[in-house]
Structure 1
Amino acid sequence: MAEAVVRALYGGSTSLNLSSKKVREVPQCVSRLSNLSVLLLNNNCITALPVELLSLQQLEELNLGNNALKEVPAVLGHLESLKKLYLYSNQITLVPPEVLDGLQNLVVLNLNHNQIQRLPPEIKSLRKLRHLSVLDNKLEEVPDELGLLTELSEINLTSNQLSFLPKQLYQCKDLTKLHVARNKLTSLPEGIRALTKLQVVDVAGNKLSMFPIEFHLLPLKELYCEGNRFVRCEPVSSVQNVEVLTLKELVARFVLSEDRNRSSLVHRMLPHYPSLSALLASGSCCAVCLGPFLTTWLECVHFVNLRKDMKMRRSLTIPVRALLCSYTCFNRKGQVYYGVATR
């Protein structure tokens, strides 16, 4: 090991490979390699990093995978040039917020196979992050701030304890791969249609009953969804109550309809009433008549074939959620939506 460091020091090397050397402590002399851009320390027994490593201001890639770290070393927060950071297969339980604040140029972050229960909101500091992998941890939730990482291309949260995903996730418009298999998800948040570049979705081994609205309009190439609790198309008798809309709902539907007409008085005046605009923002439209409504009148499902409807190789049929504004639309001939019965 010493020979490798000396050789790098006198040769002006920009990379140093100390992987699989049974290293327990990183030699402080490594901090003298100020031109280092790549440092490989994986497959060792390292429990901490010396503070002197903050002198490695040119370092762009650091691999600390398969060591004995119990938290993300604080010194990493001072390595502002880091673009790739690998911390897989350690014993990490904590990700200090102050460390993330200093990693604003990070592109790849791999925290696989640790014991992390939460990611701090300060993850929003990683504005250039493209690949985030926290596979096989103990995550119980993901912070809303993840949606601020708008350059994310791939997220892997497989094998955790997640029961929900934040709706802000769909602000990551460049996302192409979403892996959330083997969690405890009962639903995916509405708005996934915004991810127009999404190609791969893996939700296998969760507790999903159906996919969110307009899921079938995504340009997916791969979908893995085995081992969920999807609703099935079975005949069940239904009871249709008399439709009685509240005055609030009637007015909301009128305003929403008028707002579609850019020349209408309602459309021009609505920006002057921000609280009303905020209320109407939660509205939706009927899958049959396309008319707007504020609250869900009838929750339905339709069954989509991956090969026929989404041009994928598999011929699997999946349930996709749909909202209808009234029983009038529900009973219309030719529509392909089914009411959802609970047992």
Structure 2
Amino acid sequence: MAKPELAVSVSTVRTLCGGATSLNLSSKKINNVPKRVSGLTKLSVLLLNNNSITGLPADLLSLRRLSELNLGNNALKKVPSVLGHLETLKKLYLFSNQITEVPPDVLGGLPNLTVLNLNHNKIQRLPAEIKSLTKLLHLSVLDNNLEEVPAEIGHLTMLSELNLTSNKLSVLPQQLYKCKDLTKLHVARNKLTSLPEGITALTKLHILDVAGNNLSMFPVEFHLLPLKELYCEGNRFVKRKPMPSVQGAEVLALKELVARFVLRTGRDRHSWVHMRLPHYPCLTTLLANASCCAICFSPFVTTWLECVHFISLKKDMKMKTSLTVPVRALLCSYKCFNTDGHYYYGVATS
């Protein structure tokens, strides 16, 4: 049986002589990348997966045409810095290594990347420089130690699929709503207690997997998403169970009263209030976080009453499952809550 080194040498020589653009060195039991590989300047695909590689040589940056690199299932403890010089890379696979961090300078040097697979590592955080990957279509960080996702992920406006399953996330960034092309979002088996309200802006989202989290309900207007598949088992959703309640007196703060007046008046673009708002940036910022009453549709800033209504996935979202899920709703007052003809329930707090 031929030794691994000899087998690699023969493969490399054949590639050199044939002028091939791809080289497959997967499952060759090698610890290092052969020096000859750096001389294969026409390579566009290099497969090094299923080996015992611990690092990459610096002279690998000579591969100026490389578009796909597979380093999956090796012994890397960090992302090799040389990758930050391979600007032509479009697909990078680093799954099943021992990587603990992703260097910011590496991501900053990969402007053409469309696929990044970091599955089955020990990564705790992604750097803000991930915003440099503006052409990224698929990002997968499944089975890591992620505790947060940077807000800069909102810069990935071409992202189609995001997989964050099996991490330690307790929250998702609000900026996720900027990823308008997202069709698949996998965040199962984390510690999420809620989803960002802006998720309803993902008008192309077809698959959502939030199974195995700590969700109590879905965001406002969740049922308007064009979902085809929803996986949500293993959460702590509120149940439709009657309970006695005590209604307190409605006493709105002066700040809230003024805010509601400005919001209502400001709807008229010809009003004095609307024309003066740009001169008060702090007020504009405050009003940007306003909500709308689910019953009377009046705007307000401070949530007065959090409610829930129960959505049939089959009837209301045209999905195949007959599951019913709770969706958050906000009301501006007990006056609205006590009107007849609606199906909103107050949420009991312990």
Q: TM-score, normalised by structure 1?
A: 0.99
Q: Deviations over 1:261-302 (max 9, x none)?
A: 122121122112111111111111100000001110100000
Residues 222-261 of structure 1 correspond to what in structure 2 (within 5 A)?
Answer: 222-261=229-268
Q: Deviations over 1:169-192 (max 9, x none)?
A: 111111111000000001111111
Q: TM-score, normalised by structure 2?
A: 0.97
Distance 2:307 2:171 in 1: 21
The answer on 1:83 being equivalent to 2:90 is: yes
> 177-186 or 258-267, which moves further after superposition?
258-267
Task: Look up the match of 1:170.
Answer: 177
Task: Look up the match of 2:118.
Answer: 111
Residues 1-343 of structure 1 correspond to what in structure 2 (within 5 A)?
Answer: 1-343=8-350
- What is the deviation of 1:334? 0.6
Distance 1:131 1:228 in 2: 26
Distance 1:126 1:306 in 2: 35
Distance 2:115 2:108 in 1: 15
**Structure 1 unaligned regions, length at least 5:** none
Give the letter for the 1:107 counterpart: T
Distance 1:177 1:267 in 2: 39
Give the letter for the 1:336 counterpart: Y
Give the letter for the 1:187 counterpart: S
Aligned length: 343
**Structure 2 unaligned regions, length at least 5:** 1-7
Distance 2:140 2:259 in 1: 42
Give the letter for the 2:316 counterpart: D
Q: Deviations over 1:284-330 (max 9, x none)?
A: 11000000011101000000000000000101000000000000110
Distance 1:265 1:221 in 2: 45
Q: Identity, % of aligned pairs? A: 74
Distance 1:27 1:8 in 2: 13
Give the letter for the 1:313 counterpart: K
Distance 1:192 1:94 in 2: 28
Q: Deviations over 1:148-172 (max 9, x none)?
A: 1111111000000111111011111
Give the letter for the 1:122 counterpart: E
Distance 2:261 2:125 in 1: 44
Distance 2:108 2:334 in 1: 52
Distance 2:13 2:337 in 1: 76
- What is the deviation of 1:52? 0.9
Q: Deviations over 1:80-112 (max 9, x none)?
A: 000000000011111111111101110000000
Distance 1:279 1:175 in 2: 28
Q: Give the conservation status (yes or no) of the 8 Å contact 2:176–2:198.
A: no
Distance 2:245 2:330 in 1: 17
Distance 1:52 1:293 in 2: 60
Q: Give the conservation status (yes or no) of the 8 Å contact 2:304–2:331.
A: yes
What do you get for the CA RMSD once the two structures are aligned? 0.7
Q: Deviations over 1:3-26 (max 9, x none)?
A: 111111111110000111111110
